[in-house]
A and B are shown apart, each in its own frame.
Chain A
Amino acid sequence: MTAILSRIFGLQHLDLILDIVQDTFETALTRWRFSGIPDNPSGWLMKVAKNKALNAVKRAQKSESFSPDLILPASIDLEDHFDQICTDHEIKDSQLRLLIICCQPVFSSRNQIIITLHILSGFGVPEIANALLMKEEAVKKSLSRCKSSFKAIPQLLNVPVVPPSNEQTEVLLRILYLIFNEGYKTTRARKGINNDLCYEAIRLTKLLLNPKQACYHQVNALLALMFFNLSRFPARLTETAEWLSLAEQDRTLWEIKFIQEGFYYLDISTQSTQLHRLHLEAIIASLHCTAPNFKQTNWAKIVYLYQQLELLEPDSPYIRLNRIIAQSYLQNAAACIKEINALEMSSGLRQSFLFSATKADIYYRTGERDKAILAYEDAFQLSNAPLEKKFLLRKIAECKSDGHKDSA
């Protein structure tokens, strides 16, 4: 809805557009409480939005206090125009255009995410604050700064309704990756997984699917990665909503249809002639999703793929860490610990609990219980996420109880 209205009014009138959208939903709530949800809710909503937009135009034409640059067509044209741009194809185009406008480098990555979620996904301020663990005031400030930018820098809105360039697509993919990531493992929210964020990321990524574009294969790779990860959601949390590691998950709960959909996108993506990091990440995810159990995971292949990733992104400590983790299942654990320590030093990321937790896990697997407990306790101190801390406590308890069995 916002997308369509932005075609009519232009994003410099974002406040007006958001008001109309908000108004429409309030009307819907008031009406639907009494008479139930209509058979075609989106049709109903667009009709109401259209009427409110028409009223806004009429008021603007009557009132002189409206800004002079609000050049709107006469009401009669507006109705036709509205109907014309409400076709599925036009809606998709409008959303795509809006997505590009939201994700421009002039805004910080964080702000790009905030505007995208607010304008395109209809997330309210409390939802965004919760999703990105910000204070509501901070979100409001970010939004109002972005809106001011739109008003102050009209070039930002000069995005024609054409497919995005390769550079633009790269930016978009990065933002969508980050949005999915935040939903996949929320940083500090009460619930570990924010499904809405993941679904929104997927929905918006699908807008970018265009076989005629050079980035087509990358978009498919990202979708594959998202679906492979999505398939594991039902198994990742216990009944008490606590984390289960990959090794602990009940794989019968993984959604096969999402894995299959992942492969559909993966197949298309691998027809590319250029290797992209998303390809590698997607293939690694596919290897996990098709291993019948943790023990039968093809670690050798995964190590190889991570090594390729390291070549593409030599500066990422996390990719290196993941490769070391994969290697720890194949070879000399002590060597892995050494490498992790070196990595911790060189990356300057001492503050991340991941290094300690990884070492702890390796120690545990190689029978060095005491070292494992110490490393887990380190990780516990460094972690900020309540669910993570619960997980680490559980691991510490497991180490201790096993230890007793050993010594008895």
Chain B
Amino acid sequence: MKEFLMLIRENADYGEMTAEQMQDDIEKQIKWVEELMAKGNFKDGNPLNHEGSHIKGNVITDGPYVESKECISGYYFLLANSLEEATELAKGCPSLALGASVEIREVIQVEQ
């Protein structure tokens, strides 16, 4: 199977969610990942800290909020046979329902 990087971009503000919504969100996320794992499509996934640094030329600034409002909040490495399949899997990501956008790119592997 091929490896695909899935980037999630969102402006999730948990401060505005109610407790019920937060719980709902976590449950959906966990369920989605568990399904991926069960079918062998999940390799790795991690959230990214909101604070970071940005370098362009000689200029170093804080955080990723430089050009776009939407910030990459996390990444997954999925396993699938094709971009189409990976895209189908990515459609199940619960963050989409909250307004996030998702980008899927195949990782170029060098055949041994």
What residues of chain A have their CB less than 8 Å away from a CB belonging to chain B? 22, 25-26, 29-37, 123-124, 126-127
Contact = CB atoms under 8 A, between A and B. Distances in A.
25 contacts: A22-B15, A26-B14, A26-B15, A29-B25, A29-B26, A30-B73, A30-B74, A32-B26, A32-B29, A33-B30, A33-B47, A34-B29, A34-B33, A34-B46, A34-B47, A34-B74, A35-B45, A35-B46, A36-B33, A36-B34, A37-B30, A124-B19, A126-B18, A127-B18, A127-B19
Contacts of A22: 15
A123 to B, nearest CB: 8
Contacts of A26: 14-15
B22 interface: yes
Nearest to B76: A34
A34 B46 CA distance: 6
A26 B14 CA distance: 6
**Chain B, interface residues (CB within 8 Å), range:** 10 to 19
Contacts of B29: 32-34
Chain A residues touching B, majority SS: helix
A124 B19 CA distance: 8
A36 B30 contact: yes
B33 A37 contact: no
Nearest to A32: B26
Interface string B27-38: 001100110000
Interface string B46-73: 1100000000000000000000000001
B18 A25 contact: no
Nearest to B18: A126
Contacts of B19: 123-124, 127
A397 B18 CA distance: 38
B98 to A, nearest CB: 11
A29 B14 contact: yes
Contacts of B34: 36
B22 A29 contact: yes
Nearest to A123: B19
Contacts of A31: 47
Given A22-B15, A29-B22, A34-B46, 14 more contacts: A25-B14, A26-B14, A32-B26, A32-B29, A33-B25, A33-B26, A34-B33, A34-B74, A35-B46, A36-B33, A36-B34, A123-B19, A126-B18, A127-B18
A216 B14 CA distance: 41
| In the complex, the 9 A-B pairs of residues with the closest C-beta atoms, listed nearest first | A33-B29, A30-B47, A26-B14, A34-B45, A126-B18, A34-B47, A36-B30, A29-B14, A32-B26
A37 B47 CA distance: 14
A32 B45 CA distance: 11
A31 B49 CA distance: 10
B73 to A, nearest CB: 7
Interface string B63-104: 000000000011000000000000000000000000000000
Nearest to B23: A29
Interface in B1-31: 14-15, 18-19, 22, 25-26, 29-30
Contacts of B26: 29, 32-33, 37
A34 B36 CA distance: 12
A336 to B, nearest CB: 44
Contacts of A25: 14
A126 B18 CA distance: 7
B79 to A, nearest CB: 16
A123 B45 CA distance: 31
A34 B76 CA distance: 9
A25 B14 CA distance: 9
B30 A124 contact: no
A85 B90 CA distance: 45
Contacts of A123: 19
